[in-house]
Amino acid sequence: MKSTIRLFKAVPIDDVGTKEPSEKLLKKTMPYGFIVAPEVVYNYSEPELNNLIALIMKEFGLSGEQMNSSFHKSWQKVKTAKIKQLVMEQLLHYFTTYGFEQLGIYNKESVYIPKERLEIPEIEPEGFHFVIIKGYAKDKLKKKVVELLNSGIALGEDSITDVLDIATYLAFTEKDIETIKNKEVKVALYEYLELFPEHPIEFLRYCIYKSTEQSLIIINKETIQKIKDSNNLAITRLFHKYKERYGFEQLAEIFLRFKPLFLAFRTNTQMRTYTNKLRKLAKIHHKPMQPDYLNEVTALIKSNQLDEGELKRHLAKVNTFRKIRLAYALNYRTKDADSILYRIRNGKGYATEFSFERKERAERILLIVLDSISKNIKKNVEGKSIFIPNFVRYTLPATEKQFTGNLPSGSYVSIPNDMIVGVHWKNVGENRIDLDLSMLNPDTGKIGWDSSYRTKDRSILFSGDQTDATNPDGASELFYIQNQSKNTYLLFVNYYNFDESIEVPFKIIVGKEQIEEKDAHYFMVNPNNIIATAKSKINSRQKILGLITSFPDEVRFYFVETSIGRSITASGSPFSEHSRKYLAEFYKNTISLNQILQDAGAILTDTTSKCDIDLSLEKIEKDTIIKLFY
């Protein structure tokens, strides 16, 4: 249930009947920004609906009270109060959380929050964009899952978990598994059905999954140590079965390529015998890995050795998402960038100086790749009317692992006036959770939780630091960003009282607002002015949430989530400086989905009334944008 809600904003149903939600039900859901569809109401009893609502709340629910659960309740106060007063109030808050904990007298009822007037505007249903929780029959759910798994896009860890949960619920068979292209999900389904694959790389992946519960084949110290820490008796039995059924010749073909991983399994006598046998067979049967031509394209451009005909032949062999990854690499090399961040498959990365002289050639090759992408998706969109809100610019999705919610990384929302952006979270169980929001710009420095409440010109305001997020409303931290001269900021969230065993879910909030000197507003966020929300989580000390770019007539928020180490906030570090420059340059110059759709023959419309495809933020599911590309 939770998995279908997260992936598809839907729940399973058995019957196609409908029943309108009651006024009582609407009063429960509408204040939190969602409505349960008639087919769901028809299929579930009232107690079942109440359980559903609790699950939906965690994923998509966000009330005006929760959004306004900030330290201060008025932007006017943050803007006009003396800094001394703001600091004293903040210190009192710290004393009643961290201070009282040290003294052993902490009590959530005694946490100090300034007593300020709060009058939150009620939701106006007429113009509010509610999330609709739909009902899908089993056959439709299966079709959506299979299509997502065969799309060719790499899925993130949470999506893989959700897909596996749904596949189990739908009772996938061995025949179903044979059609799946997604390697990570396929190996987990082998485990579920107690099967094992013949293909040598899939077999190795399966053994790694059995030993470490990770589905990626990565040769690094962490993976090798995890394998060594297991007794691997189950792996021994798998190798025995493989030898009896297929022989070891196929495995010997890949032994040398993945030798450190095979040797890591030598944790018992029988496995040492098997790996010795593979080592001998590898001298005869070894097959070196074929190089990926598309990985060499930028180097070939740099050395003036790229053949366009050969490039087109290789493009014809790969899926659209592989082309998109190449397009982004080329696109970056057409800009005046002087820093680059290389991400490694194990999640780490390094940043360094960067230069690329053959920009015109890179631009020419980029056009070839984009044309190939447009031709790929033409069959899905040509002649169709597609609605994209005028304040949204989606980017081409390269990998779902970098999505924020259902948004491809680098997608942005634009507001012609002033913007509010922030996060909302709750304590996890009995654990007090302290998340901290900050903005960083090399010129203006840091604004936020351990720095200033506001800039000198009051163009950026911070709502204050919350260190306790008790139920029912939790806590929020927010920034108010005014129109100003062109400037770029990175938005960070820190997990201050970090506990590696406690993962913290939170929601990103983006809205529009306008502080008028003559009008007193006794709230921080008007729920009717929210234009985008997205669920996320943090399981590290710090992560980047996005990029904020301000102009005299516009403010943009780019959805960009990445964890590249704590040192990025430290000034003076070459790694930090190159990382910041790369992220700002890369995401300000992403490739527009809007434009590619038009190039492929789609008709972008400004109304939802007669559109074939609705890409409204509240409508898109995990697969909505992805399925345009397969």
The angle formed by the CA atoms of residues 82, 515 and 521, to the nearest 5 degrees, is 80
pLDDT at 264 over 70: yes
Per-residue pLDDT tens digits for 352-411:
888 899 999 999 999 999 999 999 999 999 999 999 999 999 999 999 998 999 999 999
Of 253, 277, 248, 265, give the one whose Cα is nearest residue 207. 265
End-to-end CA distance of the chain: 26
Dist. CA 479–CA 420, nearest whole Å: 6
pLDDT at 49 over 60: yes
Contact (CB, 8 A) for 226 and 212 = yes
Burial label for 311, CB within 10 Å (0-12, 13-18, 19+), is buried
- DSSP codes of every residue in 235-268: HHHHHHHHHHHH-SHHHHHHHTTTHHHHHHT--S
Count the neighbouring beta carbons within 10 Å of the beta carbon of residue 411: 28
Dist. CA 320–CA 315, nearest whole Å: 9
User: Given this model, what pLDDT does residue 3 score?
Assistant: 96
Domain-wise residue ranges, the chain: 75-115+412-589, 293-379
Q: Name the 3-class secondary structure at 193.
A: coil
Q: Name the 3-class secondary structure at 573.
A: coil
Dist. CA 414–CA 152, nearest whole Å: 30
Q: In this structure, what token pair is assigned to residue 569?
A: 């906030």
Of 42, 37, 46, 45, give the one whose Cα is nearest residue 5. 37
User: Given this model, what pLDDT does residue 519 score?
Assistant: 63
Dist. CA 44–CA 50, nearest whole Å: 10
Q: In this structure, what token pair is assigned to residue 625?
A: 């944008």
Of 2, 106, 23, give the one whose Cα is nearest residue 430. 106
Q: Angle of helix 138-149 relative to helix 157-169, nearest 10 degrees?
A: 140
Q: Across the chain, what does the average pLDDT equal?
A: 92
pLDDT at 564 over 70: no
Contact (CB, 8 A) for 205 and 190 = no
| H or E segment to which residue 26 belongs | helix 23-29
Give the amino acid at 191.
E
Dist. CA 448–CA 548, nearest whole Å: 14
User: Given this model, what pLDDT does residue 612 score?
Assistant: 96
pLDDT at 545 over 50: yes
* pLDDT band at residue 570 under the 50/70/90 scheme: very low
Count the neighbouring beta carbons within 10 Å of the beta carbon of residue 622: 23
Q: What percent of the chain has pLDDT over 70?
A: 96
- Residues across the chain: 630
Contact (CB, 8 A) for 511 and 450 = no
Phi, psi for residue 555 in degrees, rounded to 5: -130, 135
Dist. CA 224–CA 210, nearest whole Å: 13
The angle formed by the CA atoms of residues 330, 336 and 339, to the nearest 5 degrees, is 85
pLDDT at 588 over 70: yes
Edge-to-edge strand list for the sheet holding 603-605: 603-605, 385-387, 613-614
User: Given this model, what pLDDT does residue 567 score?
Assistant: 47
Dist. CA 626–CA 396, nearest whole Å: 9
Q: In this structure, what token pair is assigned to residue 162?
A: 């959700």
User: Given this model, what pLDDT does residue 579 score?
Assistant: 75
Place of tokens 């597609």: 386
Dist. CA 306–CA 373, nearest whole Å: 19
Q: Which residues of 558-594 are buried (b: 16+ CB within 10 A; e: fewer)?
A: bbbbbbbbeebbeeeeebbbbbbbbbbbbbeebbebb
pTM of the model: 0.91
pLDDT at 520 over 80: no
Of 546, 537, 548, 513, give the one whose Cα is nearest residue 527. 513
Q: Give yes or no for a cis peptide into 114 (omega within 30° of 0).
A: no
pLDDT at 2 over 70: yes
Of 373, 316, 394, 368, give the one whose Cα is nearest residue 559. 394
Between residues 601 and 336, the one the model is more confident about: 601
Dist. CA 164–CA 423, nearest whole Å: 29
Q: In this structure, what token pair is assigned to residue 494?
A: 């820190």
Dist. CA 156–CA 552, nearest whole Å: 37
* pLDDT band at residue 76 under the 50/70/90 scheme: very high
Between residues 519 and 412, the one the model is more confident about: 412
Per-residue pLDDT tens digits for 140-164:
999 999 999 999 999 998 999 999 9
| H or E segment to which residue 93 belongs | helix 83-94
CATH for 75-115+412-589, options being 1.10.3720.10, 2.60.60.30, 3.30.420.40, 3.40.1180.10 = 2.60.60.30
